Structure 1
C-alpha cells in the first residue's frame, strides 16, 4: 500500500511538472502564430521578428540557467519552480501591454528569466524520485510538455486571435483597447499564476545519501568535471544543440510558412499544426524515453544516446524535404517530422544525469541547457530569417530557407552524436563505479 502511494505521488509530480512545461511552451511559442499581425503593427522585418522569437527569450533564459541550477543543487527545487512560473506568466501578460518593438523585446526577456527556473530543477527532482530503469519513461512524459505546449499554443493562439479580431481587440479600463495579438498574450499569461500555487502541493524529494555525503559542489567543480570529460560533453551538447536549432528553425516559422507559401488561413494553419504537434510530437518524445528504457534493460549503458541517434537518422531527410513539398502533402510530412524531432529530447536530458555526479546534476543540466537553448532557441528562427532576408532575399522563399537550415542542422547533429557515442558508455560505467564506492567517513582523521 505504501509503495503504491509513493508511486502515485511520483507520477503526480511528473504530471504537474509536465503541465508546467506545457504552460512554458505555450507562453514561449505563442508568438509564432502572430507573425503577420505583429509585423504589421510594429513595422518590423522577418529578422527583427525572429529576435523576439529567439534571442530576446534565450539571452537571460540561458544566462540565468546556471546560477539558478546552482540554487537547485542546494535549495528547495519545488519553491524555485513555483517562483519561476509566476515570473514567466506575468512577463507573458506584460507582452500584451507593449506597443513597441523594444518593450516587447524586454517583456520576452522576462519570459526567459522565469522559464530558466523550471527544467534544471525538474530534472533533478525526477532523478531523485525514480529508479534508473524507469527514468526514461518519466523524462519522456515530462518532455512531452514541449509538444503539447507547442500544439496548444497554435490551437489556442488561432482561436483566441480569431475571437479578439472579431471583436476589434479587448477594451480594458485605464489601458484602453488592446490589439487582438496583445489580448492573446494577456489571456494566456495570467492563468499561469494559478499553476504556481498548484506546484506548491508537490513534495520536495529527498536527495540521495550520496549527494549529502559528497557535499555541495560549486560551479567551478562542475566545470572541472566537465573539462575532465570534455569530449563526451562537447559532442553531446553540440549534437543536441544542432537538433534544437533544426527544431526551432522549422517550428518558429511553420505557421507562417503555411500562411505565406500555401495561402492557408491563419486559424486553419494553427489548428492543423497544433493537432499534429500534440499527437505526433507528444507521442514521439514518450517513444524515445520508452526505447531508452528498453535498451537499458537490454544492458546498454549508452541507451539514451542510441535512442537519440535512432531519431536523428530519420529526422535529417524528413526535415530537409517537408518545407519543399506541396500542400496538403506538407501537413502529412509534418507528422513524422515532429515525431522524430521530439524522439531524442527525453533521452538527451537523461543522458546528462547518467554521466554527472549526484551533487552536480542540476548545474551540468543547466550548462547543457545553456548551450542547447542559446544555439537552438536563440538562433534557430533567426537562421531561417537570415537565409530568407539575405541569401534568398525574398519573403516568398521562406520554404527554401527552412529546408536549408533543416538539412544543415540535421547533418551536423548526426555527426556530433556519432562522435559522442564513442566515449559515452565508458563515462556512464565510470560514474556507476564512483556511485558504488563507499566514501571515507568524515570523522576519520
Structure 2
C-alpha cells in the first residue's frame, strides 16, 4: 500500500515538474519569438535592414545564450538545478520587458543579449531534472511534452502579439510611469512581465534526486567530460549537427514566415499572427509528441538507432514542402504546407534531445547539454535567420524576394540535417549499446 502510494506521489511530482517546465519553456519562446511579428514596425521606427533585424533575432541572442550556457552547465552538474532555473526565468523576463523601454538599436541589442543569457539556464537544467524524475521508458514522451513549449510559445507569441497590436493605436501612446511608447514597445513589456509569476511557481518544486550517481559530492572534472566526448565523438558530433541543422530550418521559418505573409500576400500583422500562430501551435505540438512517442516505440522494439532514423526520415520528407511553400500563389495553400513542414521538423527536433540524454552519464548532463545548446543555437538560431536576410539584402537585393530566399535556403538546411542523421546511425547505436552496458538499473518511476 505504502509502495503504491509513494509511486503515485512520485509520478504526480514528475508530472507537475514537466508541466511547470513546459510552461517556462513556452514563455521563453514567447519572449524569444515575439520579435518575428514586430519586424516591420521595428524596421520602420529604427530604420533597420533585414540583416540588422536578423542579428536581433538570432546571432546576438545565440552568442550570449551560449556564453552563459557553458559555465551554467557546469553549475547545473554541481548545484541545485531548480534554483538556477528560477533565477534564469526571472532574469530573461525582466530583460524582455526592458526591450520595450529602449529607444534605439543598441539598447534593443543589449536587452536581446540579456534574454539569451537568461534563457541559457533553462534547457540544460530541464533535461537533467526531467531525466531524473521520469521513468527511462517514458523519457522520450516527457521530453517531447517539454519540447511542446517551443511551439506553443512561438505560436502564442504570434497570436497574442497580433491581438495586442490589433487593439493598440497605430501611433505613439503615453502610458503612466512608462511615458511615450510605440505599440511594439508595449508588446515587449506585456509579454515579459508574466514570467515573474512563473519564477515564483518554480520555487514550489523540490530538487529531484540524481539517478545513476554514486555520490552527490563527487564532481566530475572537465577533462573527464572531454575524454568521454572524444571517446564517443562520432556519435555526439553527428547527432548534434543533425539537431543543429534541423533547428536552423525551424528558426529560419519562425523568424521570417510572418514577414513572408505580410510582404508576399499583404496580410496584416494581426492576421498573420493569428493564422500562422495557430498553425505553429497545432502542428508543433503534434510533431514533438509524435516524435517522442515513435522514438520510444522504436527503442522499445530493440531498434537502438531508431530515434536517429526517425530524425533523418522526417527531414527528407519535409524538403519538397519547404521548397514549394514559399512559392505558392495562394496564402492559404502556403499556410497549409507550412503546417506540414512544422509537423515534420518538430517530429525530428523532438526526438534529438532524448537521443542525447540516452548517451550521457548523469553528472555530465548539464555540461554536455549546455555544449549542445550552444552548438544548436549558434548554428541554428545564429546563422539561419541571417542567411535568409543576407540573401534578401545582397543576393536578391529586394525585400519582396524573401519568398525566394526561403525557398532556396530552408530545403538545403533540411538536406544537411538528413545527411548527418544518416551518418549518425552506426556510431550512435554503438555508443548507446556501450552506455546500456555500464548504466545501473533504475526502478521505474
TM-score for the superposition, normalised by structure 1: 0.95
* Structure 2: distance between partners of 1:236 and 1:39: 37
**Alpha-carbon distance in structure 2 between the residues aligned to 1:187 and 1:219:** 41
Residues 193-248 of structure 1: per-residue CA shift (max 9 Å, x gap): 11100011111110125352793223332222112221111111211111111111
Q: Which residue of 2 aligns with 1:52?
A: 56
User: Are 2:398 and 1:394 aligned?
Assistant: yes
Check whether the contact 1:214–1:359 (CA below 8 A) recurs between aligned residues.
Answer: no
Residues 387-445 of structure 1, C-alpha deviations (whole Å, 9 max, x = no match):
111111111100010111112101111111100112111101111112249xxxxxxxx
- Is 1:314 equivalent to 2:317 in the alignment? yes
Question: 1:126-164 CA distances to partner (integer Å, 9 max, x unpaired)?
Answer: 001112110011000000000000000000110111222
Distance in 2, Cα, partners of 1:170 & 1:296: 56
Counterpart check, 1:278 vs 2:320: no
For the pair 1:404 / 2:379, whether they are aligned, the reply is: no
- Report the equivalent of 2:430: 426
Q: Deviations over 1:69-93 (max 9, x none)?
A: 1111111111100000000000000
- Judging changes above 3 Å, is the alpha-carbon distance between structure 1 residues 174 and 202 closer, same or farther for their aligned structure 2 residues? closer
Q: Is the 8 A contact 2:151 2:281 kept in 1?
A: yes
1:218 aligns with 2:230: no
Distance 1:211 1:200 in 2: 27
Identify the match of residue 245 of structure 1 among 239, 244, 248. Answer: 248
Q: Distance in 2 between matches of 1:389 and 1:211?
A: 55
Could you report, residue by residue, the CA deviation over 1:3-24 in whole angstroms, capped at 9, with x for unpaired residues?
2221111111110000000000
The 3 A distance-change label for structure 1 pair 68 and 401 is same
Aligned to 2:144: 140
RMSD: 1.4
Counterpart for residue 31 of structure 1:
35
Q: Is the 8 A contact 2:287 2:350 kept in 1?
A: no
Q: Which moved more, 1:314-323 or 1:69-78?
A: 314-323
Alpha carbons 2:100, 2:189 under 8 Å: kept: yes
Which aligned runs of 4 or more in structure 1 are off by greater than 4 angstroms?
Answer: none
Q: In 1, distance between residues paired with 2:44 and 2:418?
A: 38
Q: Give the SS at the match of 1:29.
A: helix
Q: Secondary structure at the match of 1:328?
A: helix
Aligned-pair CA distance for 1:169: 4.5
2:9 to 5, 8, 14: 5
**Cross-structure match for 1:172:** 175
Question: Residue 299 of structure 1 aligns with which residue?
Answer: 302
Asked whether the 8 Å contact 1:308–1:348 carries over to 2, the reply is yes
Question: Is residue 70–residue 218 contact of structure 1 (8 Å, CA) maintained in 2?
Answer: no
Matched residues in 2 for 1:125 and 1:257: separation? 38
Give the gaps of 5 or more residues in structure 1. 438-445
Work out the CA distance in 2 between the residues paired with 1:410 and 1:196. Answer: 36
Residue 171 of structure 1 aligns to a residue whose secondary structure is strand
Deviates more, 1:316-325 or 1:153-162: 316-325
Maintained 8 Å contact 2:312/2:419? no
Deviates more, 1:216-225 or 1:237-246: 216-225
Is 1:188 matched up with 2:191?
A: yes
Q: How many angstroms apart in 1 are the aligned matches of 2:169 and 2:220? A: 52
Contact 1:169/1:183, CA 8 A, preserved across alignment: no
Whole-angstrom distance in 2 between the partners of 1:69 and 1:359: 10
2:311 counterpart SS class: helix
Distance 1:213 1:102 in 2: 43
Paired position in structure 2 for 1:440: none
Q: 1:112 is matched with which residue?
A: 116
For residues 93 and 107 of structure 1, the distance between their equivalents in structure 2, rounded to whole angstroms, comes to: 9
Separation in structure 1 between the aligned mates of residue 305 and residue 206 of structure 2, nearest angstrom: 31
1:380 aligned to which of 381, 384, 394: 384
Match of 1:266 among 245, 264, 269: 269
State whether residues 212 and 362 of structure 2, in contact with CA within 8 Å, keep that contact through their aligned partners in structure 1.
no
Change (3 A) 1:193 1:218: same
Q: Could you say which residue in structure 2 is the equivalent of 1:417?
A: 421
Task: Check conservation: 1:211, 1:358, Cα contact below 8 A.
Answer: no
